[in-house]
Structure 1
Amino acid sequence: MDKIDHVLVIDDDRGIRELVGDYLEKNGMRVSLAANGREMRQVLEGGAPDLIVLDLMLPGEDGLVLCRDLRAGKHRATPFAVRELLARVRAVLRRTRMLPPGMQVTETANILAFGDWRLDTTARHLLDSEGTMVALSGAEYRLLRVFLDHPQRVLTRDQLLNLTQGRQADAFDRSIDLLVSRLRQRLRDVAREPRYIKTLRSEGYVFSAAVTAVDGPGQ
């Protein structure tokens, strides 16, 4: 009897978590779900899965840190096509079976593309359509990463503060508005008719452009 591949899906968004899990199960895989690092470790206590689908922006713990700890993983920006995800999951599993015992595969996309822009998440470089690098401060980079990891999803000011500053965030701090304004300038986004970062009155902000994760040079 053929072995059934075991996939662990880690995402704090319940809807995405269950959507991916249901789709993979319907395509013949055994699936475990986790909303955070604690639940992930509980699953791992029962045995290592064949592959992990990991959201980078987990509450309380950085997904990249978890990925480095595991030394295995697969991540991409959302929303995404589940058929494409299934194809990539199967591709990684095929590569894993070809490796010697104990060796692991890590597949990560280090370029996030949106509109006329590309963000190199390894070098932390923002590149325009002509390949010209646009400098970002540390705070601007963190905010852009949050938006790119949560595209087309409403994020409140408090959520943006927590995701960019963590425990240092002040619930009454409105500096996030200034930071959004600076990031819009970097992206040459017009506030009155924004192409990328839209303001939702009394709600927060939404990154409206589609985001695609691609492999960069040398990947």
Structure 2
Amino acid sequence: GLETAADDNVVKPFEPIELTARIKAVLRRTYPSLKPERETEREHEPAALKLGDWSIDLKSRRAVCLSDATRSLTSAEFALLEILAETPNTPVTRAHILDRLGAESDRYIDRNVDVLVLRLRRKIERNPDLPRHIKTRRGKGYVLDTDDGEARP
């Protein structure tokens, strides 16, 4: 199929989320003039966050660890943090995160989100096993908790 001008191939059984992400990727390649939602301006989005030892500037996409200058966030980790910061204290579904990450790359699948959350927790949280900032809401998704007094926009 790929040799006869197909853009992609999905093997059965497949996850509906992966199929949706692949369709969106083809649409982005076909219609590059359409801007992804993440590029639109959001006035309600905080300019900066303080999460424990981290100071995060969402406008300039910089994250600085105040206690350890050698740690830094990857672009995927920062993208996840940005997605969660758009709606602090509100659960964000794995499907929504995958959709938003898919706007940057076609390489993500459903469980990659969990691994990305784990990697981000290991860097930002003092104790990743008992997270204070990036929490899981069972059946609802992940939430950036800014209510505990230590994390604040």
Question: Do Structure 1 and Structure 2 share a fold, with TM-score over 0.5?
Answer: yes
Alignment of 1:38-77 (within 5 A): 60-62=36-38, 65-67=39-41, 75-77=43-45
For 1:189 and 1:115, locate their aligned partners in 2 and report how far apart those are by CA, in whole Å.
8
Give the equivalent residue in structure 2 for 1:183: 120
Task: Call closer, same or farther: CA 1:147–1:166 in 2, change over 3 Å.
Answer: same
Q: Which AA in structure 1 matches 2:138?
A: R
Alignment of 1:58-207 (within 5 A): 60-62=36-38, 65-67=39-41, 75-77=43-45, 109=47, 111-130=48-67, 132=69, 134-166=71-103, 173-207=110-144
RMSD over aligned Cα atoms: 3.0
Q: Which has the higher strand share?
A: 1
Deviation at 1:66, TM superposition (A): 3.8
Contact 1:126-1:133 at 8 Å conserved across structures = no
For the residue of structure 2 that corresponds to 1:174, the secondary structure is helix
For 2:40 and 2:141, locate their aligned partners in 1 and report how far apart those are by CA, in whole Å.
29
Contact 1:140-1:183 at 8 Å conserved across structures = yes
Q: Which AA in structure 1 matches 2:43?
A: H
In structure 1, stretches of 5+ residues that fail to align are: 1-58, 68-73, 79-108, 213-219
Report the TM-score when normalising by structure 2. 0.60
Contact 1:125-1:135 at 8 Å conserved across structures = no
For 1:189 and 1:169, locate their aligned partners in 2 and report how far apart those are by CA, in whole Å.
31
For 1:167 and 1:138, locate their aligned partners in 2 and report how far apart those are by CA, in whole Å.
10
Deviation at 1:202, TM superposition (A): 2.5
In structure 2, stretches of 5+ residues that fail to align are: 1-34
For 1:167 and 1:207, locate their aligned partners in 2 and report how far apart those are by CA, in whole Å.
21
| Structure with the greater alpha carbon radius of gyration | 1
Structure 1 residues 156-204: Cα deviation after superposition (integer angstroms, max 9, x where no partner): 1111111222385689621100000000011034343211111122322
Task: Call closer, same or farther: CA 1:66–1:159 in 2, change over 3 Å.
Answer: closer
Q: What is the number of residues matched between the two proteins? A: 115
Task: Call closer, same or farther: CA 1:141–1:190 in 2, change over 3 Å.
Answer: same
Report the TM-score when normalising by structure 1. 0.44
Choose between structure 1 and 2 for higher RCO, CA contacts under 8 A separated by at least 6 residues.
Answer: 2
